[in-house]
């Protein structure tokens, strides 16, 4: 393959860094690990290649990714080995396309490489505060009579709950230490986790939490709060450590949840996430699934909360 002008420039030893922050040593290691795992997760057929019968590596080979990304094999190998120079935004776009990255994975790739993602992320000027976002609090209060909900920060620490949410899942907001963090509770309290979903749903739910946290840590620039949470989770849970090392990245998905409440029975809930445009906080609402008896049962639960025996 004939080198392009971009290849000639990136293979030169005197590469000038881009206008954004450079990647830290830990980011470069994470970048290499992320690239390798995404490469190994692909199959030749996923990118239009013939599988062949003599492949000795899982997924794609490095030379195949390099060809798809229109870059030299040597340069791509150095990126995976955490010893290459900082890649340009143009090269990152080629790699993202070659590896068939999702939007969340692509943004994560750019951040690890020390470049600004092409999709606008929350402005750096937004202040992460402990006070509840007023707009989200208003919606939470407005929906309180019919819809369980809570407000959390981007690290999944619960900042506010309405009464229906507390009745179904217990109190979180205001608890000391890590006890107010949903991810911490998920990976350190099997008993609480078992109340939320059947065993078959535990693995995908845990992976969803970890993938979202991985994206958030990169968006925060590996700040003290996010890295401390990851360190504490790794020390407390081998399951979390295993999932974290798999380097999956995704934004938190909305799922259908089934809760068996001892007072009113089965509740089928569709989760909706609302992001604030003035903070990094999230509002999670669990609305009744249409066609079920959940709305009537939530109304009954609200009556029990308002007039306890």
For residue 8, the model assigns a pLDDT of 31
Amino acid 121: pLDDT: 44
Pair (87, 172) in one structural domain: no
Distance (Å, whole) CA 236 – CA 215: 21
Write down the pLDDT at residue 19.
38
pTM over 0.75: no
Q: Could you tell me if 154 and 251 lie in one domain?
A: yes
Let me know if residue 127 belongs to a domain: no
Q: Please tell me the predicted confidence (pLDDT) of residue 269.
A: 92
Cα 143 from Cα 125, distance rounded (Å): 30
- Distances in Å between the Cα of 176 and the Cα atoms of 96, 155, 157, 159 are 41, 15, 11, 12
Q: Which stretches in the chain have pLDDT values below 50?
A: 1-21, 120-129
How far apart are the C-alpha atoms of 1 and 92, rounded to whole Å? Answer: 19
Same domain for 222 and 81: no
Task: List phi, psi (to 5°) of 7.
Answer: -65, -45
Structural domain boundaries enclosing 93: 17-112
pLDDT given at position 252? 79
My answer on whether 208 and 293 are in the same domain is: yes
Q: Are residues 93 and 200 in the same domain?
A: no
The reply to whether 165 and 36 lie within a common domain is no
Q: Would you say residue 10 lies in a domain? A: no
CATH code at position 272: 3.30.450.180
């Amino acid at each position: 393959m004939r080198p392009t002008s971009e290849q000639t420039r990136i293979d030169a030893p005197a590469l000038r860094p881009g206008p954004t922050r450079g990647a830290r040593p830990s980011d470069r290691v994470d970048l290499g690990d992320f690239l390798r795992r995404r490469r190994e997760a692909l199959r030749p057929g996923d990118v239009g290649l013939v599988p062949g019968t003599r492949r000795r590596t899982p997924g794609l080979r490095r030379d195949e990714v390099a060809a798809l990304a229109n870059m030299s094999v040597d340069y791509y190998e150095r990126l995976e080995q955490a010893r290459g120079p900082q890649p340009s935004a143009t090269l990152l776009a080629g790699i993202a396309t070659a590896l068939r990255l999702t939007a969340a994975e692509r943004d994560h790739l750019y951040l690890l490489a020390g470049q600004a993602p092409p999709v606008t992320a929350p402005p750096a000027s937004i202040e992460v505060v402990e006070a509840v976002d007023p707009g989200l609090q208003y919606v939470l209060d407005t929906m309180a009579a019919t819809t369980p909900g809570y407000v959390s920060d981007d690290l999944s620490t619960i900042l506010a709950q309405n009464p229906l949410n507390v009745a179904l899942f217990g109190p979180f907001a205001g608890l000391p230490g890590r006890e107010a963090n949903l991810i911490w509770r998920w990976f350190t309290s099997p008993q609480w986790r078992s109340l939320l979903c059947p065993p078959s749903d535990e693995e995908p739910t845990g992976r969803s939490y970890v993938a979202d946290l991985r994206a958030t840590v990169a968006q925060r620039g590996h700040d003290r709060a996010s890295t401390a949470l990851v360190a504490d989770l790794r020390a407390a849970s081998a399951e979390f450590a295993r999932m974290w090392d798999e380097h999956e990245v995704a934004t938190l998905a909305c799922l259908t949840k089934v809760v068996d409440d001892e007072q009113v029975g089965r509740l089928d809930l569709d989760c909706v996430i609302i992001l604030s445009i003035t903070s990094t906080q999230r509002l999670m609402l669990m609305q009744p699934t249409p066609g079920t008896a959940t709305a009537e049962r939530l109304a009954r639960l609200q009556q029990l909360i308002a007039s306890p025996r």
